[in-house]
Chains A and B, each alone.
Chain A
Amino acid sequence: MTNETRTPPTSPGRSRSVVDVLRDAVRDNMRQYGMLVALGLIVVLFQIWTGGTLLLPNNVSNLIQQNSYILILAMGMMIVIIAGHIDLSVGSVAAFVGALSAVMMVKHDMPWVAALVVSLVIGALAGAWHGFWIAYVGIPSFIVTLAGMLLFRGATQIVLEGESVGPFPHGFQQMAQGFIPEMGPYTQYHNPTLLLGALVIVVVLVQQWRDRRSQLAYELEPLPFNIWVVKCVAIVAAVVAVTLTLASYRGVPVVLLILCALLIGLGFVMRNTVTGRHVYALGGNKAAAKLSGVKDKRVTFLVFVNMGTLAALAGCVYAARLDAATPQAGLMFELEAIAAAFIGGASMSGGVGKVMGAVIGGLVLGVLNNGMSLVGIGTDYQQVIKGLVLLAAVGFDVWNKRRAGS
């Protein structure tokens, strides 16, 4: 029991000053803002170092496509870690499902949409397999998924008989390599991308406005109006910048749509649904969550089913990008995904983190990879630097928490 008291509460009637609001926001999200700032700095650094190549429209598209599967895995991994677990099997599951999809499409001529759906179901089953042992039998996730890592890696080699299988139907390839098609008259930009950007801006603004209205309706204290306006302007500016960059090359990569859908969907689930809240509660204090009526086994099981499905999706995207399923696919993916989640604000003991954080963490690693390759740093040094970044990110967090605590 600590005997320290907190500062007396500010009287609820008085509205908070602009400085207070900003200070609280930064304090509560130190890790996320910290990583966002770090991501910005890394981007600026390599933008200068590469002489402007990093942010060229074609490189941005490339960056998104080559990191898509890690980002997909990182989002799922974040949820697993929030729940207080770990999943070491995702690289192997991705390889296994990629291999099965290849066999279905190439050897059995299955239509690619059907193959994709079946692949996702198989991924979900692989996740259910892990989830069963972890949630209902009670074996630690580290061990279950370590076993899964070996098991599915072996299964991949069995399915592929040690060979690469490809190439894939055009539609399947497009998932990882394609862009949404150009339409309408020739402008300097990619028309559907501009349209999509405008749509996003409208939706975001409407959403922000409704949120504010609803806070007022519940007599809660919303953000001060001027800060709210700045926030909206910042969001619009960011969307415009990304839209124009993508629109001046070949438009929005298909895989970016998948990523955005996952980010919004999973972010919503984790923040706004009962199940998502239960995941946080379980990771934060399992005993208390159980005594509060959280169905711990079911929630844990679902978390792993979700992870398995995402691993399957990542496996398909990776195979589609290579245009072949290989026995070596997905090696070390689990570690990249775990690193992304921790850089993005997850905690070893569970209960904290945001899906958005995993994306930021994944992008930090992705931009580092891409930038370092562009300036000609070898993969040997790249590994060293990524290791140090992971250590620095988590170290910063630990240091920051200790400073806040003492």
Chain B
Amino acid sequence: MSRPVLEMRKITKSFPGVKALAGVDLEVGAGEIHALCGENGAGKSTLMKVLSGVHPHGSYEGEILLDGEPVAFRDINASERRGVVIIHQELALIPHLSLAENIFLGNEQARRGVIDWRATLRDATRLLRRVGLPDLPQTRVSDIGVGKQQLVEIAKALSKEVKLLILDEPTAALNDEDSEHLLRLILELRAQGIACIVISHKLNEIRRIADRVTILRDGRSVETLPVRETPDAEPQIAEDRIIRGMVGRDLEHRFPERTPYTGADAGEVALEVSGWTVRHPLDHQRKVVDDVSLEVRRGEIVGVAGLMGAGRTELAMSVFGRSYGVYDGGSVAVNGREVRTRSVPEAIGHGIAYVTEDRKTYGLNLIDSVNRNISLTSLPSLAARGVVDEHRERQIAEGYRKSMNIKTPDVFEQVQRLSGGNQQKVVLSKWIHTGPEVLILDEPTRGIDVGAKFEIYSVIEQLAAEGKAVLFISSELPELLGMCDRIYTMAAGRLTGEIDRAEATQEVLMRHMTMDRN
């Protein structure tokens, strides 16, 4: 093991009422890719905020050594000057500025306050090449995709003479191709001697690139495990081993047992979508969803697999009250009867519920309380002549808090103070309470830790066991394989396959997901 570039010793950080970190140790070798794993709330982000000076020196206990020398960062600028650069999960680029301007934002190539455009463009071009971006430095950030934006962030970090790069869930929003590109770039940077800390939920990525992994649990560093001996060696650690460290127990059953629905109407088609076609909201020439037909029976969990841009979310949102794009034909039937779903209230009225993939933007009113978020979709049913029965509302919220195991001090807590998993339970509660026949779940476990995932799976399983029809959109193939009775695959807006549970494997799904349209 090479000389450590970073040592964090006995880091303890408290917030009012919570101890977020309790004596965490972390050591990163020079030119090492070090993964940081842990459930949500384990303290990963807090640890990185301590390291990067977001939580300044003095607000925590313990010591930080860079290249063997103790450091005390007052703010982010101080840590960046020492070559520690953090790239947050939410990208911090300014959409209306060019790539070059973004790369040198706050670090402008200027002489006495006047920008030297030649140097800016020249250096930006050099940095963009280094991260493998062919785009011109004058391109606006809003004109390139999320995957490329992530690379621009790295170019920005490189412009600051970075020694230690911290990436917080770098591939969370990327498709497979962009993720692959990014991972390769991280490996290249290692070859150039830049150490890297990667926070990730994706264990396969950790196995692919990391040298070592440190696991945090409940604000403590549980263990540091070697992933591979040399940079080129095969990984020697199993995903289950990492999971065991994260949850502190063996997760033998990552998915709950299925109980088949045995009602009299079992097997009847609850949702039938025929010939559904949607055009892009701005580019009307483009069909984002093209002639899709599918059906979901009562008590069935049906998966929808597809790469980013395959049109899964667009299909779901469009069926749900035409919330996306321009409708261009197709029909929806619930329980065998064709229904109009031209607006969200109509869709809800016909027993369709849609749980969004992006709970913070489309699912929750973050500044409002748990109980008001749960009741929002079903207020009319809680009201007599337009007046809401507040006590009944609170009682319902208390009910879901118990049945869904929502961890919150009380139901009046602001939703933004809950962890991701508990927020997702609030979203699910809110839709379950509308009493739907059909639930469309769009990435229901995105950004949620392993323990909470199992709870969400159990809720989904139970909904199916009660005879609801569930359409389950997910990018995580193991999750689809573990939960679904059938899986549809989509590519480029079209349905490319319908695969039974018995025949489905990751390989088969991936083959259908990458099928060319023809």
A residues apposed to B, CB below 8 Å = 1-10, 12, 24, 28, 214-215, 217-220, 271-275, 277-278, 280-281, 284-285, 287-295, 351-352, 404, 406
B301 to nearest A CB, angstroms? 22
A285 to nearest B CB, angstroms? 5
Q: Which of B350-374 contact A (CB under 8 A)?
A: 354, 356, 361-368, 372
B120 within 8 Å of A by Cβ? Answer: no
Contact among B323, B365, B417 for A281, CB-based, below 8 A = B365
Decide if B40 touches A3 in the complex (CB within 8 Å).
yes
Contacts of A281 in B (CB 8 A): 365, 368, 372, 376
Q: Which of B409-423 contact A (CB under 8 A)?
A: 409-410, 412-413, 417-420
> B172: nearest residue on chain A (CB-CB)?
A1
B348 within 8 Å of A by Cβ? Answer: yes
How far, in whole Å, are A274 and B376 apart by their CA atoms in the complex? Answer: 9
Contacts of A8 in B (CB 8 A): 407
Decide if B447 touches A1 in the complex (CB within 8 Å).
yes
Decide if B394 touches A5 in the complex (CB within 8 Å).
no
Contacts of B401 in A (CB 8 A): 12
Contacts of B45 in A (CB 8 A): 1-4
Which of under 10, 10 to 19, 20 to 34, or 35 or more describes the interface residues of B?
A: 35 or more
B67 within 8 Å of A by Cβ? Answer: no
Decide if B419 touches A280 in the complex (CB within 8 Å).
no
User: Which 5 A-B residue pairs are closest in the complex by CB-CB distance?
Assistant: A284-B365, A5-B41, A3-B45, A218-B391, A7-B17
Given contacts A277-B379, A351-B368, contact A288 B394 (CB under 8 A): no
Decide if A292 touches B377 in the complex (CB within 8 Å).
yes
B50 to nearest A CB, angstroms? 12
Given contacts A2-B45, A277-B376, contact A291 B354 (CB under 8 A): yes
Decide if B391 touches A214 in the complex (CB within 8 Å).
yes
How far, in whole Å, are A1 and B392 apart by their CA atoms in the complex? Answer: 32
A82 to nearest B CB, angstroms? 11
Decide if A6 touches B386 in the complex (CB within 8 Å).
no
Given A281-B365, A293-B344, 7 more A-B residue pairs with CB atoms under 8 Å apart are A5-B419, A9-B409, A275-B386, A287-B361, A288-B362, A293-B377, A351-B368
B398 within 8 Å of A by Cβ? Answer: yes
Decide if B398 touches A12 in the complex (CB within 8 Å).
yes
28 A-B residue pairings within 8 Å (CB atoms): A1-B45, A1-B447, A3-B20, A3-B43, A3-B44, A4-B15, A4-B41, A6-B17, A7-B409, A218-B395, A271-B390, A272-B387, A280-B372, A281-B365, A281-B368, A284-B365, A284-B366, A285-B365, A288-B365, A289-B365, A291-B344, A291-B354, A292-B344, A292-B430, A293-B321, A293-B377, A294-B376, A404-B16
Decide if B408 touches A220 in the complex (CB within 8 Å).
no
B191 within 8 Å of A by Cβ? Answer: no
Contacts of B367 in A (CB 8 A): 284, 351-352
B345 within 8 Å of A by Cβ? Answer: yes
Decide if A220 touches B394 in the complex (CB within 8 Å).
yes
Contact among A6, A217, A218, A277 for B18, CB-based, below 8 A = A6
